[in-house]
Amino acid sequence: MESYAILRDLAVIILSAKFMAILAKKCKAPGVVGEILAGLIIGPLLLNIVQPGDFISKMAEIGVILIMFSAGLETNLKELKKSGPIALLIACAGVAVPLGGGLLLYLCMHGFPAPGTDGFFRGLFIGCIMTATSVGITVEALRELGFLKGRVGQTILSAAIIDDVIGIIVLTFVLGLRDPASNTLLVVGKTLLFLVISLAGGIVIYKLMKLVDARYPHTRRIPIIGLGLCFIMSYAAEKYFGIADITGAYVAGIILCNIRDAGYIDRKVSINSYMIFAPIFFVGIGLKTDLSGVDSSMLLFSVGFVLVALVSKVIGCGLMAKICRFHNLDCIKIGVGMMTRGEVALIITNKGLNMGVLDSSYFTAVILLIIVSSVSVPILLKLLYAKHPDPEVE
Amino acid sequence: MESYAILRDLAVIILSAKFMAILAKKCKAPGVVGEILAGLIIGPLLLNIVQPGDFISKMAEIGVILIMFSAGLETNLKELKKSGPIALLIACAGVAVPLGGGLLLYLCMHGFPAPGTDGFFRGLFIGCIMTATSVGITVEALRELGFLKGRVGQTILSAAIIDDVIGIIVLTFVLGLRDPASNTLLVVGKTLLFLVISLAGGIVIYKLMKLVDARYPHTRRIPIIGLGLCFIMSYAAEKYFGIADITGAYVAGIILCNIRDAGYIDRKVSINSYMIFAPIFFVGIGLKTDLSGVDSSMLLFSVGFVLVALVSKVIGCGLMAKICRFHNLDCIKIGVGMMTRGEVALIITNKGLNMGVLDSSYFTAVILLIIVSSVSVPILLKLLYAKHPDPEVE
């Protein structure tokens, strides 16, 4: 008879999340920041109105999966192929340098644990958190400035999308390392097998869905079948390949991103996401944030974490852009544009928390990174473009 | 780490529900019937792929609440007031006769337990299940025939909407009786208090929402605030007034049904509903259906239940229509049009199951009623209209 008690929690979560998101946007910060703050406020840390629990955490899991499915659906494969080669190089450097930087930071602060130990693994994980650029925040910042369609803007966009994929592959690889029963070869093998099966199965599913879509365009069955595929692939990825369920959701989105109703599916899924599930995910992070473990060394780590995450992206992406013969200031623009971190960093941290690799005090560092990067990047880009506007635009 | 296991259940539920709903519609039955059958097939009764559990049942609860919120939002208060008086009389008769009929049927089959006993209460509950007409199925049947806009069609529509409200008030009243600590006066008092507070608070909320809506039309905050209100009122109804949470959701919908973006909220809520939550509710009923308790007496009861439910509606509504001076054949049309039962009957049965008043074998009777009524009513209406078409239409 107590099932109605969750209704109160849901109401508090979605209303406080929306309120804080609006407030955040008024302060020129992304809405996501507001939603996390809402969780900090209503959770055990402050008001203690809502406590994290099994139901909330399962709803949050669905929330992340919907976000990643949506990101997959919004992938523009053609665009990706066109601006591909250079963006791929920039993305690779933009993953490799922060990964190394994060690992090095952790090792420096913890007396260089040897490869294979838990400490080393934790360091790798910290590196993983730093890899993925937040496509959403970057795109919004560039669009507001009016430079999204220029060469630099397009390169940033493509690289940000690609580094999500690479970041997730790296994460999958690192996660696989954790399993004591598996050796590295097995992890690589399983990851490759997943990609091969996804590719082969994906082509078949894509063709089938195209047929269904041609026959029943804009009907409810299209998004429902899409969502079903997303859930199945998320489950299968985790259950049979030891790959993160969010990877499965992302791949499901990519499989469907070229059918005619991809946008239609995305709209329906997004409504489910923003009305209920995504706020639960972001608020849930705030709910789970635990500052009892934060001491001076953790604070020191957080500051170092933010600095390394920001600087390593600029160095990695900027240098690679220079090698690809971009103008000096454009190199800096690309590096700065790639600095934003968002959902994916949180998702990876959450994964680490669920696996027991990290404790919840690490959220502090990640939340700090998201706030600092998403507030500073739009401002920095504005200054850089004022100094050296993109000649092709207008 | 096991939170991804629910993804498999969700995928199976939404895909099988959609598949069976399409199949049902191909057989001219309403989709709801297909979704319940999907639950029977994938549940413990047959294939045992998905088992009912805590998470599923909470998601199902949200599903019912969204359905009722949507029904409230779709209420046309003006239309209701216009065709009101006559429709109100017809609705009252259409609630009273089945309520009495259901009670009498149960009492006859169980040796007439005295008022105040558990048996009498169960009989009253059976009567409650018979009261509410399924607006959706009726409207769809009339719309397909092209007679929704005629006088008879409008009367059926209004009466079907009103009898939902009356049915839920009666249910609330009956549910309140169950609480041993409360006396009838307290139940009536609490119900009245809820209505008064809802009315007073509702007017304030309505005016506030109108202001917000005028300032931020068609923004995400509108449906989110609406949904938040729905959850709060559902929770408050159950927690503080001992009234069914679905009543709270319905009233929340009615409060917002006249703001300009009511349709906008309804569309967003409906997408959440049909993509995930509503299928879980209907499939969940199938999952919970337990035929182990069905013996010959239960079967006999089921047949009696269906007959009494159908005949009592025709008698109640038809006779009242006759008193209101409708043409003889139009009286029969009104009676037949009101025969359909759907979601609300299931919702009430589910409530009874959760409260321990009914056991799950009663779903058999209700499912039989839904299938028989929703298949036969469109056919009967077609025959009646062929014999005596509505002169005002065309």
Which residues of A fall within a CB distance of 8 Å from B11? 228-229, 231-232, 235
Of B75, B267, B210, B280, whose CA–CA distance to A275 is shortest?
Answer: B267
Q: Name every residue in B having a CB less than 8 A away from some CB of A.
A: 1, 3-8, 10-11, 14-15, 18, 22, 54-55, 57-58, 61-62, 65, 220-221, 223-225, 227-229, 231-232, 234-235, 238-239, 245, 268-269, 271-272, 274-276, 354-355
Distance of alpha carbon A150 from alpha carbon A340, whole angstroms: 19
User: Are A153 and A390 contacting, i.e. CB atoms less than 8 angstroms apart?
Assistant: yes
Distance of alpha carbon A19 from alpha carbon B277, whole angstroms: 25
Per the structure, the complete domain to which residue A230 belongs is given by 66-278+294-393
Disruptive mutation site among B4, B13, B178 for chain A (greatest number of A CBs within 10 Å): B4
Distance of alpha carbon A45 from alpha carbon A53, whole angstroms: 15
Q: Do B268 and A268 touch (CB under 8 A)?
A: no
Amino acid, single-letter form, for residue B275: M
Residue A36 counted as domain residue: no
Query: Which two tokens mark B312?
Result: 């009592």
Spatial neighbors of B378 by CB under 8 A, at least 6 apart, are: B28, B141, B144, B145
Q: Report how far apart, in Å, the C-alpha atoms of B369 and of each of A172, B16, B137, B341, B379 are.
A: 51, 22, 13, 7, 16
Residue B283 counted as domain residue: no
Which residues of A fall within a CB distance of 8 Å from B227? 14, 275-276
Which residues of A fall within a CB distance of 8 Å from B228? 11, 14-15, 18
For residue A234, give how far its alpha carbon lies from the nearest alpha carbon of chain B (Å): 7
Maximum CA extent, chain A:
66
The whole-model pTM stands at 0.81
Q: What is the DSSP letter of A113?
A: P
User: Are B72 and B251 contacting, i.e. CB atoms less than 8 angstroms apart?
Assistant: yes
Which residues of A fall within a CB distance of 8 Å from B225? 15, 18
Which residues of A fall within a CB distance of 8 Å from B57? 3
Residue A183 counted as domain residue: yes
Residue B272 counted as domain residue: yes
User: What mean pLDDT comes out for the span B106-113?
Assistant: 87
Q: Which tens digit of pLDDT belongs to each residue from B178-223?
A: 765 555 667 678 778 988 999 899 999 999 999 999 999 999 999 9
Disruptive mutation site among A7, A15, A235 for chain B (greatest number of B CBs within 10 Å): A7
- Nearest CB among A54, A225, A234 relative to B4 is that of A234
User: Are B233 and B245 contacting, i.e. CB atoms less than 8 angstroms apart?
Assistant: no
- Nearest CB among A11, A227, A229 relative to B235 is that of A11
- Nearest CB among B5, B18, B269 relative to A224 is that of B18
Q: Do A61 and B231 touch (CB under 8 A)?
A: no
CB atoms within 10 A of CB B327: 13
Distance of alpha carbon B359 from alpha carbon B367, whole angstroms: 14
CB atoms within 10 A of CB A234: 31
Query: Which two tokens mark B271?
Result: 């997408």
CA A305 from chain center: how many Å?
A: 17
User: Are B209 and B199 contacting, i.e. CB atoms less than 8 angstroms apart?
Assistant: no
Where does residue A213 rank: exposed (0-12), middle (13-18), buried (19+ CB within 10 A)?
buried
Which residues of A fall within a CB distance of 8 Å from B272? 271-272, 275-276
Q: Do A221 and B271 touch (CB under 8 A)?
A: no
Distance of alpha carbon A210 from alpha carbon A206, whole angstroms: 6
- Nearest CB among A7, A61, A221 relative to B18 is that of A221
Number of domains in chain A: 1
Task: Convert B358-376 to b/e letters by CB count within 10 Å (16 or more is b).
Answer: bebbbbbbbbbbbbbbbbe
pLDDT exceeding 90 applies to what percent of chain B? 42
Q: Do B58 and A57 touch (CB under 8 A)?
A: no
| ipTM of the complex, rounded to two decimals | 0.80
- Nearest CB among B224, B234, B354 relative to A7 is that of B234
Query: Which two tokens mark A216?
Result: 């029943």
Q: Do B62 and A274 touch (CB under 8 A)?
A: no
User: Are B381 and B152 contacting, i.e. CB atoms less than 8 angstroms apart?
Assistant: no
For residue A230, give how far its alpha carbon lies from the nearest alpha carbon of chain B (Å): 8
DSSP B29-63: S-HHHHHHHHHHHHSTTTT-SS---HHHHHHHHHH
* Per-residue pLDDT tens digits of chain A, which is 394 residues long: 467 889 999 999 999 999 999 998 888 776 777 888 899 899 988 999 999 889 998 999 899 889 888 878 887 777 666 777 898 899 999 999 999 999 999 999 888 888 878 888 899 999 999 998 876 667 767 766 777 667 788 788 778 877 877 887 788 778 777 765 555 667 678 778 988 999 899 999 999 999 999 999 999 999 999 999 999 999 998 889 877 787 789 889 989 999 999 999 999 999 999 999 999 988 987 887 777 767 888 888 899 999 999 999 999 999 999 999 899 999 999 999 999 887 778 888 888 888 888 888 888 888 888 878 877 887 788 788 888 887 665 4
- Nearest CB among B6, B22, B268 relative to A58 is that of B6
- A-to-B residue pairs, Cβ atoms closer than 8 angstroms: 130
Which residues of B fall within a CB distance of 8 Å from A224? 14-15, 18, 274-275
Q: Report how far apart, in Å, the C-alpha atoms of B278 and of each of A98, B31, B273 are.
A: 44, 12, 5
The single residue listed with the structure tokens 């239609």 is A264
Query: Which two tokens mark A185?
Result: 């070869």
The pLDDT assigned to A340 comes to 86
CA B338 from chain center: how many Å?
A: 13
Q: Name every residue in A having a CB less than 8 A away from some CB of B.
A: 1, 3-8, 10-11, 14-15, 18, 22, 54-55, 57-58, 61-62, 65, 220-221, 223-225, 227-229, 231-232, 234-235, 238-239, 245, 268-269, 271-272, 274-276, 354-355
The pLDDT assigned to A32 comes to 78
Query: Which two tokens mark A382?
Result: 């504005």
B298 pLDDT band, cuts 50/70/90, is: confident
Q: What is the SS3 assignment for B326-367?
A: CCHHHHHHHHHHCCCCCHHHHHHHHHHHHHCCCCCCHHHHHH
Query: Which two tokens mark B43?
Result: 């549940």
User: Are B70 and B270 contacting, i.e. CB atoms less than 8 angstroms apart?
Assistant: yes
Helix, strand, coil shares, percent, chain B, to 5: 80, 0, 20
Disruptive mutation site among A231, A240, A245, A276 for chain B (greatest number of B CBs within 10 Å): A231
Disruptive mutation site among B58, B175, B205, B357 for chain A (greatest number of A CBs within 10 Å): B58
Spatial neighbors of B265 by CB under 8 A, at least 6 apart, are: B73, B222, B223, B226, B227, B256
Query: Which two tokens mark A148?
Result: 């999204």
Q: Do B235 and A7 touch (CB under 8 A)?
A: yes
Q: Do B55 and A57 touch (CB under 8 A)?
A: no
Residue B129 counted as domain residue: yes
Query: Which two tokens mark B325?
Result: 């001076």
Q: Do A271 and B276 touch (CB under 8 A)?
A: no
Q: Do B4 and A225 touch (CB under 8 A)?
A: no
For residue A131, give how far its alpha carbon lies from the nearest alpha carbon of chain B (Å): 24
Q: Do A272 and B274 touch (CB under 8 A)?
A: no
User: What mean pLDDT comes out for the span B54-72?
Assistant: 88
Residue A59 counted as domain residue: no
Where does residue A62 rank: exposed (0-12), middle (13-18), buried (19+ CB within 10 A)?
buried
Q: What is the CATH number of the domain that holds B134?
A: 1.20.1530.20
| Backbone φ and ψ of A218, nearest 5° | 55, 35
Query: Which two tokens mark B102?
Result: 């259901």
Which residues of B fall within a CB distance of 8 Å from A65? 7
Residue A88 counted as domain residue: yes
CB-side neighbour CA atoms (13 Å) of B273: 17
The pLDDT assigned to A1 comes to 40
Which sign does the torsion angle of CA B22, B25, B30, B34 carry?
negative
Q: Which tens digit of pLDDT belongs to each residue from B246-261?
A: 778 988 998 999 999 9
Angle ∠(A256,A260,A265) on CA atoms, nearest 5: 60
Which residues of B fall within a CB distance of 8 Å from A70? none
pLDDT exceeding 70 applies to what percent of chain B? 92
Query: Which two tokens mark A253?
Result: 């989105």
User: What mean pLDDT comes out for the span B100-126?
Assistant: 89
Q: Given a cut of 50, is residue B394 above it in pLDDT?
A: no
CA A154 from chain center: how many Å?
A: 19
Q: Do B276 and A272 touch (CB under 8 A)?
A: yes
Query: Which two tokens mark B190?
Result: 């609490």
Q: What is the DSSP letter of B390?
A: -
Distance of alpha carbon A74 from alpha carbon B138, whole angstroms: 40
Residue B45 counted as domain residue: no
Which residues of B fall within a CB distance of 8 Å from A240? none
B242 pLDDT band, cuts 50/70/90, is: confident
Identify which has the larger pLDDT, A342 or B353. B353
Find, in chain A, the residue whose alpha carbon is nearest to that of B10.
A231
Distance of alpha carbon A291 from alpha carbon A359, whole angstroms: 10
The pLDDT assigned to B180 comes to 57
